[in-house]
């Protein structure tokens, strides 16, 4: 078996083309050191937001509470030993003057969080939001632009991890990361100037190293790790769980194999890891232990989940559950209104009490909801009913129960309310037999990773929501008999296009199968004919035409 120090010497000799030889695997990166990534984490985030609202608090020790815990505190309070997730009673014993502020309403934190992400996006569009106070930003393109102007005397801004900056590698990573440190400083200054918040940054050639190096100097500081110190940074971690992405479940499995430190994992046999935690996870962990991480900064769009939770010591009566679900639905509806999109799925989660902490896992049930529900004045009541029925699938209310958390989440959003006869709606119905993945590609639906991990049993999963939706019920014969003004109102309310009573036979486009074409509704036939005939004129129409053609392609012979 090769000792850890040998890896360093392998690295030093190989420089840019580094790879690490384990017993049975070469760990290397396809990107090598070409990328420059910054991880930004705001200092005592919730506390800073509260101080912005009440500046007189700045010099006082403050703690933000949720339930019975201080979930964060400012750095004045940290001087007294007040830490995150400490019981309020403990915190007050350490710091009797601690000002406690309720942090259960996340509204202001969410708002500030998106403002911070917007500031970071001004430097690069490749920004991935992580929770409320962290962002990764891939600034490789910006660094390339500045690379040609790089002067020898340019210096790293902030700390250099372990002051290690040897000229071993000739790929240009030293210059790139130096420029990266300058950009990190600019971003942090801009966040401070525009929003009044201080932050910490980590700069590295991959996400893992950037995230791990950031907290080595806190608060309001930044640190850059150069490739020559990557292995030292990894080895500084006390436990394998310190690698972001390794949770309790995986670390328990690894512990069972006798792996608890980074060094243990570096020296473990890949085949053994694969057998116990799966191939992809095994490769990822093995690489991560050597500071290798090829994961991309995934641009965050809007939130994929809008969720809220209520944690408590004991929730054990249906009355209490009802009260909490009502509050969750009310708060959730406010967030949805602010977001502006329509969810098509609702999820209820619970955490059942268990003496063994590691067994206290969340369980959830979800079902589809028809977005039209949000246009009715009974939306709140309907959502409460649905949430309660999902809850009853999770917990047998006939028997005594003890929960420590109830959560409600809305997911699978759509920007607009779909009209019954839209192309998308029609194709969605038609695609029922097409496998999920193919559908996503055709309809350009983004997959929600966090969602796929949810434990579901299929309850109501395929129910398309309340069936008595007025839009679904529109009958064109009835519609055409309505007085003109009422018909127009119905049509405009539901964005339905008027169906001509005398539909002329349309010529099937050459690329579409005649049999399929003849089965389509007239308005969709018309749309396909239009698409087929549409000339490409400008950029905009080229874009649209590309999207439409994908539907046309699907129906091609």
Per CB under 6 A, the list member of 1, 85, 377, 533 interacting with ligand DCP is 85
* CA 109 vs CA 263, 278, 296, 305: distances in Å: 39, 38, 26, 16
What does 84 bind: Mg ion, ligand DCP, none (CB cut-off 5 to 8 Å by kind)? ligand DCP
| Half-sphere exposure at residue 219, Cβ-oriented, CA atoms within 13 angstroms | 15
Q: Which is nearer to Mg ion, 200 or 373 (CB)?
A: 200
Q: Which of 128, 133, 310, 527 binds ligand DCP (CB under 6 A)?
A: 133
Q: Which is nearer to Mg ion, 41 or 523 (CB)?
A: 41
128 counts as binding Mg ion under rule CB under 5 A: no
Contact 406, 310 (CB under 8 A): yes
What does the chain come to in residues?
557
Q: Which does 413 bind (CB under 5 to 8 A by kind): Mg ion, ligand DCP, none?
A: none
Residue 498 · residue 419 · CB < 8 Å: no
Number of residues that bind ligand DCP (CB under 6 A): 14
* Member of 68, 84, 360, 546 binding ligand DCP (CB under 6 A): 84
Give the separation between CA 405 and CA 398, rounded to whole angstroms.
Answer: 19
**Which residue's CB is nearer to ligand DCP, number 307 or number 466?**
307
For residues 209 to 248, the per-residue mask of contacts with ligand DCP, x marking binding by CB under 6 A and - elsewhere, is: ---------xx-----------------------------
Nearer to Mg ion, 46 or 494 (CB): 46
In contact, 88 and 100? CB cutoff 8 Å: yes
**Which of Mg ion, ligand DCP, none does residue 219 bind (CB under 5 to 8 Å by kind)?**
ligand DCP
Q: Quick check: 71 binds ligand DCP (CB under 6 A)?
A: yes
Nearer to ligand DCP, 218 or 267 (CB): 218
SS3 assignment, position 351: strand
Placement of tokens 């309720």 in the chain:
102
Q: Which stretch binds Mg ion (CB under 5 A): 95-103, 132-140, 211-219, 507-515?
A: 132-140
Q: Which of 497, 504, 447 is nearest to 474 (CA)?
A: 497
Q: With respect to ligand DCP, which residue has the nearer C-beta, 85 or 359?
A: 85
> What CA–CA distance (Å, rounded) separates 550 from 531?
11
Of residues 318-337, which lie at the interface with Mg ion (CB under 5 A)? Answer: none
85 binds, among ligand DCP, Mg ion, none (CB under 5 to 8 A by kind): ligand DCP
By CB under 6 A, is residue 51 in contact with ligand DCP? Answer: no
Decide: helix, strand or coil at residue 368: strand
Q: Is 299 a catalytic residue?
A: no
Residue 310 near ligand DCP by CB under 6 A: no
- Rounded-to-integer distance, Cα 297 and Cα 294, Å: 10
Nearest by Cα to 464 from 369, 366, 343, 384 = 369
Sheet containing strand 37-42, strands side by side: 127-130, 134-138, 37-42, 199-204, 222-224, 159-160
Q: Pick the piece of the chain touching ligand DCP (CB under 6 A) from 36-44, 171-179, 253-261, 307-315.
A: 36-44
DSSP string, 198-267: -EEEEEESSHHHHHHHGGGS-SS-EEE--GGGHHHHHHT-SSGGGSTT--HHHHHHHHHTT--SHHHHHH
43 binds ligand DCP (CB under 6 A): yes
- Return the range that interacts with ligand DCP (CB under 6 A); candidates 35-43, 279-287, 298-306, 514-522: 35-43
Q: Give 462-468 contacts, CB < 8 A, sequence gap 24+.
A: 462/368, 463/367, 463/368, 464/368, 464/370, 465/344, 465/368, 465/369, 465/370, 465/371, 465/372, 465/373, 466/369, 466/370, 466/372, 466/373, 466/382
SS3 20: strand
Stretch of 42-50, 135-143, 449-457, 497-505 contacting ligand DCP, by CB under 6 A: 42-50
Range in contact with ligand DCP (rule: CB under 6 A) among 31-39, 43-51, 91-99, 489-497: 43-51
Region binding ligand DCP by CB under 6 A among candidate stretches 44-52, 298-306, 398-406, 470-478? 44-52
Question: Measured between alpha carbons, how far apart are the two ends of the chain, in Å?
Answer: 60
Site for Mg ion in 34-53 (CB under 5 A): 41-42, 45
Instruction: In angstroms, give the least distance from the CB of 311 to ligand DCP.
Output: 10
Among the listed ranges 41-49, 186-194, 300-308, 316-324, the one in contact with ligand DCP (CB under 6 A) is 41-49
The least distance separating Mg ion from the CB of residue 41, rounded to whole angstroms, comes to: 4
Residue 72 interacts with which of ligand DCP, Mg ion, none, CB < 5 to 8 Å by class: ligand DCP
Beta bridge pairs of residue 136: 39, 128
- From ligand DCP, Mg ion, none, interface partner of 172 (C-beta below 5 to 8 A by class): none
Binding-site size, Mg ion (CB under 5 A): 5
Phi, psi of 528 (to 5 degrees): -65, -40
Residue located via tokens 């977005």: 371
Question: Which is the catalytic residue, given 18, 128, 134, 523?
Answer: 134
- Residue from 125, 133, 130, 117 nearest 49 by CA: 133
Q: Of 47 and 254, which CB lies nearer to Mg ion in the complex structure? A: 47
Question: Which residue from 18, 50, 128, 133 is in contact with Mg ion, where contact means CB under 5 A?
Answer: 133
Burial class (CB in 10 A: 0-12, 13-18, 19+), 343: buried
Kindly state whether residue 138 participates in binding Mg ion, applying the rule CB under 5 A: no
Pick from 7, 27, 38, 41: which binds ligand DCP (CB under 6 A)? Answer: 41
Q: Which residues are catalytic?
A: 134
Instruction: Kindly list the residues in this chain that would bind Mg ion in the complex (CB under 5 A).
Output: 41-42, 45, 133-134
């Amino acid at each position: 078996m090769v000792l850890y120090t040998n890896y360093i010497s392998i690295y030093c000799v190989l420089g840019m083309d580094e790879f690490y030889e384990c017993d049975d695997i070469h760990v290397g990166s396809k990107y090598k050191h070409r990328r420059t990534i910054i991880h930004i984490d705001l200092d005592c985030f919730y506390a800073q937001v509260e101080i912005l609202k009440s500046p007189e608090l700045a010099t006082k020790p403050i703690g933000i509470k949720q339930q019975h815990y201080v979930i964060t505190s400012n750095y004045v309070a940290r001087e007294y030993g007040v830490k995150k997730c400490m019981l309020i009673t403990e915190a007050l014993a350490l710091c009797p003057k601690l000002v406690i502020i309720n942090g259960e309403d996340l509204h202001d934190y969410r708002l500030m969080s998106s403002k911070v992400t917007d500031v970071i996006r001004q430097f690069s569009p490749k920004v991935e939001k992580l929770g409320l106070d962290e962002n990764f930003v891939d600034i490789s393109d910006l660094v390339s632009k500045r690379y040609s102007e790089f002067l020898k005397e340019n210096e790293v801004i902030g700390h250099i991890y372990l002051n290690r900056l040897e000229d071993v590698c000739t790929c240009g990573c030293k210059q790139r990361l130096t420029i990266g440190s300058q950009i990190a400083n600019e971003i942090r200054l801009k966040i401070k100037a525009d929003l009044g918040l201080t932050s910490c940054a980590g700069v590295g050639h991959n996400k893992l190293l950037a995230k791990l190096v950031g907290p080595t100097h806190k608060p309001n500081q930044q640190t850059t790790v150069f490739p020559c110190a990557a292995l030292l940074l990894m080895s500084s971690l006390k436990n394998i769980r310190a690698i972001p992405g390794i949770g309790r479940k995986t670390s328990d499995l690894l512990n069972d194999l006798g792996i608890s430190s980074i060094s243990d994992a570096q020296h473990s046999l890949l085949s053994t890891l694969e057998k116990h935690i799966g191939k992809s996870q095994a490769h990822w962990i093995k690489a991560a232990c050597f500071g290798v991480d090829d994961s991309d900064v995934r641009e965050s769009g809007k939130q994929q989940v809008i969720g809220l939770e209520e944690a408590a010591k004991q929730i054990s009566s249906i009355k209490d559950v009802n009260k909490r679900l009502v509050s969750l639905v009310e708060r959730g509806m406010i967030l949805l209104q602010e977001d502006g999109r329509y969810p098509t799925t609702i999820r209820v989660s619970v955490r059942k009490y268990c003496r063994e902490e590691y067994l206290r896992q969340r369980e959830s049930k979800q079902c589809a909801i028809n977005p039209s529900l949000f246009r009715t004045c009974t939306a709140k009541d309907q959502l409460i009913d649905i949430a309660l029925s999902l809850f009853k699938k999770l917990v047998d209310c006939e028997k005594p129960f003890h929960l420590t958390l109830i959560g409600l989440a809305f997911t699978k959003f759509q920007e607009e309310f779909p009209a019954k006869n839209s192309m998308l709606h029609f194709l969605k119905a038609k695609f029922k037999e097409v496998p999920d993945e193919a559908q996503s590609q055709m309809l350009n639906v983004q997959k929600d990773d966090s969602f796929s991990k949810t434990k579901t049993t299929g309850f109501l999963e395929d129910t398309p929501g309340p069936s008595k939706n007025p839009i679904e019920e529109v009958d064109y014969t009835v519609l055409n008999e309505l007085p003109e003004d009422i018909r127009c109102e119905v049509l405009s309310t539901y964005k339905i296009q008027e169906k001509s009573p005398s539909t002329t036979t349309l010529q099937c486009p050459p690329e579409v199968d005649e049999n399929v074409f003849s089965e389509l509704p007239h308005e969709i036939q018309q749309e396909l004919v239009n698409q087929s005939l549409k000339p490409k004129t400008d950029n905009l129409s080229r874009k649209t035409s590309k999207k439409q053609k994908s539907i046309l392609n699907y129906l091609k012979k």
